[in-house]
Structure 1
Amino acid sequence: MSLHALGESLGADALRWLALLPLVVIGIATLEGLVHSFWLRRAYDWRAFAASIADALGRRAIDALGLSLATPLLLWAHEHRLQTLALSTPLAFGLLFVGQEFFYYWYHRSAHRVRWFWATHAVHHSPNELTLAAAMRLGWTGKLTGTALFFTPLVWLGFPPNAVLASVALNLLYQFWLHAPWMPRLGPLEWVLNTPTHHKVHHASNTEYLDCNYGGVLIIFDRLFGTFVDERAEVPIRYGLTTPLRTHNPLRIAFHEWLNLGRDLWAARGWRARLLTVFGPPGARP
């Protein structure tokens, strides 16, 4: 039985609609580039734009293969769920939303603090400018490394797998507009929601801004768990990786951190060093 057949119709329908949205997202990102280039007369890196589109297309091609490290565990969690939670009330939708936000926070935090997940997530942070096109650069190996495992508890608690996957997809869709650094602050909403102001800090490679603002739609878990950092006027943001990636080659973008991980793993001596290389934070040394 496939995951698609397991979810309620609402989750399945949402996933089908979400599958059409990349075309809309590409159109809006293209419009941003055109406005920068021809109306505002500002520099815009169209090669980086093309690299982000190539990354998105490559990811969809790999996803079409149906390979996922998390699928067996998601299926097991659904078969052994504690109950069946029907999405028939506002409370059920609210619980799914908050639960998904909670587990997304911990996934995203792990994606920065565990090198196995960072090897994929580094792709998203590789652009040296923050644009709407950068939102589409998510890497090709997410499903192969088991990122969906973080959301397994929601399935085990009783939410339909397709509804859980759709809620994660909607979370990522919300984050598209967060990659517009030209957006102003949003007043009191900044206390609750993840906003472009918070997210451009998340994309900064300055030491003062590293490893913060992991939220998806909400910023409240960052405030609760001490990972919230606000933008500081005296610290101009520098985008990209701490060691900038100066390439527009989609293959190098997709696999550069995996190659770095492989080299470090080859050089590691002893099991402790090898485990730290794979599951320790980026830059950790035994």
Structure 2
Amino acid sequence: MTIADVAAAPRRRPGADVPPERVPSIRRYAMTAPTFFTVEYAINPWMDTSVTVDTHLAFNQWETLRQTYKELGHAVELIEPIVGLPDMVYAANGGMMVNGKAVTARFTYPQRAGESAAYAEWMTRHGYRPADTRHTNEGQGDLLVVGSIVLAGYGFRTQRQAHDEIAAILQMPVVSLELVDPRFYHLDTALAVLDATTIAYYPPAFSDPSRTKLLELFPDAIEVGSADAYVLGLNAVSDGLNVVLPAAATGFAEQLRTAGFRPIGIDLSELLKGGGSVKCCTLEVHP
């Protein structure tokens, strides 16, 4: 499916009473426990070094997320956390794996640079040959697969020039989207992939041209309001039916139900102190 195919795909008629039937599929995820999680520096607007972090609570919340995936039938593999890398729990930023190919993250901030080698080593052990980019890219934080295209964010962390490199490495069409609100510093904080043709997003997080692009590609996308966006409600993971999302995003959960999805709220409030939630903690290994 190309970008043109996505735009031409059949859409649910706006206002239709009966939502389409949603079908889940088994997914493969990689996660890193928050063993060393803390907020010892501030590299996004969510982080405040004066706020105390309860590591035990963070681990319990993370474990609830992991168990939820397992109860849904998904495969969850664990990546060993490394002392001195407190943000390694946000596994989604570690890179991208799809179509048998892998891209290693190149982080913007030196505090997270050590994570690249750790995730690249894990990819290599699992049979990938991860490729590097010359420009910064922060993995699935800014690279989201929708069907057979990649939506790619830029503006705060991933550089726009990296999108061309990633398209060449993955041999997939890449759609560039500009983020303009620093609170939504990664694409996965402002946009959620729900299935191969369906997304949800927070329009004010994007530039005008990028909003236009999203409307053209996904005219029936779910537009989420500020109250849900400001609790990182869009930092969600979907298997095509079940959508695991922050428990505080109650409005978005109702929108999902109306659209035929099954929302599952998870409290990751402790990990939100570092600027991440469900999707940030989940590196999906795409087929």
Taking structure 1 as the reference length, the TM-score comes to: 0.27
Structure having the larger proportion of residues in strand: 2
Q: By percentage of residues, which structure has more helix?
A: 1
The structure having more radius of gyration, on CA atoms, is 1
TM-score (norm 2): 0.27
